[in-house]
A and B are shown apart, each in its own frame.
Chain A
Amino acid sequence: MTSSAMGNASAIVIDPDIDPRQRKSLVEGDHDFTSITASIANVAERPKPPKAWYVAMAISLPLTLTLFGIIGYLIFKGVGIWGNRQPVSWAWPIVNFVFWVGIAHAGTLISAILFLFRQKWRTSINRAAEAMTIFAVVCAGTFPAIHVGRIWMEWFLAPVPNDLEMWPQFRSPLLWDVFAVSTYATVSLLFWYMGMVPDLATFRDRATTKIKKVAYGIFALGWRGSSRQWHRYERAYLLLAALAMPLVLSVHSVVSFDFAVSILPGWHTTIFPPYFVAGAIFSGFAMVVTLMVPARALFGLKHVITMRHLENMNKVIVATGTMVGYAYAMEFFIAWYSGSTYEQFAFINRAFGPYAWAYWIMVSCNVIAPQFFWFKKIRTNPLAMVVVCIFVNIGMWFERFVITISTLNRDFLPSAWGYFSPTLFDILTLCGSFGLFMTLFLLFCRYLPMVAIAEVKSVMPQAHPHHHGDDAHGAGTHSH
């Protein structure tokens, strides 16, 4: 069958190697639909995952359990187990929250924005990136939820009629944040799951055991690839992408309002929303690259997640990294230009005060490190790019640390100034959130379609019909 399908296709599509108008193929090697399905499904179907999977699990699972343990202890004991003290009462939990929300941006960005811009190269990485989004949102959402202290009062955040006859304050950015993050989580989950249904159907149809058949079958919702269904499905996908696009840009903007709408020097700036969004995309892409490089090697997916994909993402990283660098400089300029002594103090304190070390770590990791991606050699070298991306993520964590802590530690009353130091629990909570993220990601790699199989097929040359006949689109037919 391969030869006939390929033969048919190559009769029309000009070989990309000789035709400069054609881009390089998105799937490398001599592949047809059958081999694409087989190679991707193989990740979940092989009897045992690679050794490295077990090693990674052995590290991340205990960390996850530690996180759950700490959360239990926190609920029992109270937020005092962390280093949050006056004047720094918004400490690591918020830093971690913003960090994870930032990571969560890449997935939906790749899926939605690149989809709307018809960047077909997204197809093979979008699924894993979306999964990362969901898992990062899970980690992010944990922090504000547990750091409110009495978590059983959390329902106060929701507009629930209650016997106090009291309602939430809708003009507070903290409440906007609740709506923004939960909407983002919901929409990302729907987007991810919807995109996965046809591939789950593939898994269902290939299942060899009853358990797998039933489990995948339930989540495949009885999908049977009908064209009428595909038609509505694609519409829905487009609509979700269109809805998710402004949403991605809005989430981190709203998160930045938590800071920007307050009137503290160093936070109260209009540059925050775009600056946060650029930083989020920056860190999100860095995380995707960090995870995809080992994953594609381990699971034998180099032909679908190609060097071209990685290179494209690295280009996005340089671009957004430079924007972030610009924002750092602009913040200083505005502080000086504003003529406000408080604002100026906040920034001098940031770069040369007690947290200067953190500030300069941030600048070197976020502004200098990505500049290496100007060199094609580094941009296309898997090891080098992972190193740069890890630096970027360290830098982005420090960015949130610097913003949160360096503004709070020296407030308007010098007698109240203090120096924040984390406790062991702070550190373990952060490590635990990485464990949770990795555990979920590893489970995903093993049990769910890591690459959007149906979508990859649809960008292969064989997928395109070649005789456009007399098909007046929808002429004389009723909508359905």
Chain B
Amino acid sequence: MHAKAHSPAAPAERARPLYGVIAEYKDVDSLMAAARKVRDAGYTRWDTHTPFPVHGIEGAMGFGMTRLPWFVLCCGLTGLSIAVLLQWWTNAVDYPFLISGKPLFALPPAVPIMFELTVLFSALGTFFGMWGLNGLPLLHHPLFEHEAFKRVTDDRFFLAIESQDPKFGLESTKALLASTGVCADVVPVYGNGDKGALPNWMKNFAIVMPILLLVPLAWIVTARHSTSPKTRLQLIPDMDQQLKFRNQTRNAFFADQRNERPRIEGTIPRGLLREDQQLHTGKTGPGENDWATQFPASIAVNEALLKRGQERFNITCAACHGQTGVGDGLVSQRATGKYPSWIPPISLHAENLLVQPVGQTFNTIRNGIRTMPAYSQQLTVEDSWAIVAYVKALQKSQAFPVDKLSPEERQKVASVPR
């Protein structure tokens, strides 16, 4: 069938465009000689085909260095810059990693990744750049229509001149090649019409597949931005679901099926005996505003209590309220602006708080207020009172009239570095 295809007289050929002519050689030397001849004849659109890279053929064919190395250089520099920017931005800017007080960004520890990404990008650039410049991959090429061309990957050497070449003439070019050391007839090669094209089903697949691939992505995106009453789908549950009864669930073990057990009549759980109302609630009466204005009798307000309060305050409250209580804690600093819903804590030195009864401040700590959560789980009653005492002291410290200070104290205050 191929043999027929090569005869120019065959009627089927008219539909198939002429690609060019091809000559076959047995060894490197004849090929080189032929290449020089074609080069000197002034042809431009032609190529030689060999089973292995023939050294020196560039000169014989008259073409220069590829610009691939420049492309690779650019890729390498891109990789290098990405490595520097990535490490600097992620570890020093967006999420500062402070490790043993070392600088957030320094070159030496960044070198390994810089090196790796430079090499990686250059290598990818080399690989894809080379194929790109070579115009590969190709599904088909007219030369593959020439049966003998199969031996180009084995032991034969070919020279093909394209019909697109301005100097090309079917007979003249054939004659030129025939005058070189060919080992077979110089023959024309015809294009292959549709043979190189993708089959239709592949084309359709190529269109449909990316769209189908977007479906799971779209599903994930919607799932991330919507709520659902159902529990979340967990492929790997880790230890989230454990074999235990959760709060407010049914428990068939008990007759009333309630998982939470009611308190037994006439008893009190350990540690929940709260006889001293003022100590536990900060109130002195049943009314809504019966706030205690004094510390409970069992709490001795002394320096030890203030010290304890200071420690607890700095641990529990300063993250939001700041160590001076003005509301500049680290959590608040980081969250402000980043989360629009964040309400910064109010200053503990607001007018109304200065005169607030101690019982009410105590209540704020135990039960939380508006957007501030309750801290009764983290703090004992005694510690909460200690914090109240410390907050009161803190308020005094920030609003003390200067003229009431003794001269020594005034000097001391002035000497504190700001």
Contacts and interface: CB of A to CB of B under 8 A. Distances in A.
B236 interface: yes
B342 interface: no
Given A169-B97, A222-B137, A240-B127, A227 B49 contact: yes
Interface residues of A, number: 83
Interface stretch (B67-75, B394-402, B407-415): B67-75
Contact of B53 (A230, A247, A469): A230
Secondary structure of the B contact surface, majority rule: helix
Contacts of B149: 224
Interface string B99-142: 10010000001101101110110111011011101101111110
Given A463-B52, A474-B64, A221 B138 contact: yes
B136 A471 contact: no
A236 B68 contact: yes
Interface stretch (A1-9, A286-294, A303-311, A425-433): A1-9
A45 interface: no
B381 interface: no
A478 B64 contact: yes
Secondary structure of the A contact surface, majority rule: helix
A222 B136 contact: yes
Interface string B41-71: 0000001111111111111111111111100
A239 interface: yes
B150 interface: yes
A279 to B, nearest CB: 20
Interface in A165-215: 165-171, 173, 175-176, 179-180, 183, 186-187, 190-191, 194, 198, 201-202, 204-206
B28 A463 contact: yes
B56 A8 contact: no
A33 B116 contact: no
B77 to A, nearest CB: 14
Contacts of A180: 112, 116
B116 A179 contact: yes
B27 A4 contact: yes
A454 B155 CA distance: 10
A465 B32 contact: yes
A76 to B, nearest CB: 10
Interface string B20-51: 00000011110011001000000000011111
A465 to B, nearest CB: 5
24 contacts: A1-B155, A5-B27, A37-B51, A159-B90, A166-B95, A169-B97, A169-B99, A171-B99, A221-B137, A224-B143, A224-B149, A225-B49, A225-B158, A230-B50, A231-B63, A232-B133, A239-B126, A243-B119, A247-B119, A465-B57, A465-B60, A471-B58, A473-B58, A473-B64
Given A150-B238, A231-B53, A458-B55, 9 more contacts: A32-B155, A170-B110, A190-B126, A223-B153, A240-B126, A250-B112, A458-B52, A465-B60, A477-B64
10 shortest interchain CB distances as A-B pairs = A471-B59, A474-B64, A222-B138, A236-B130, A167-B90, A221-B137, A33-B155, A202-B153, A176-B112, A458-B52
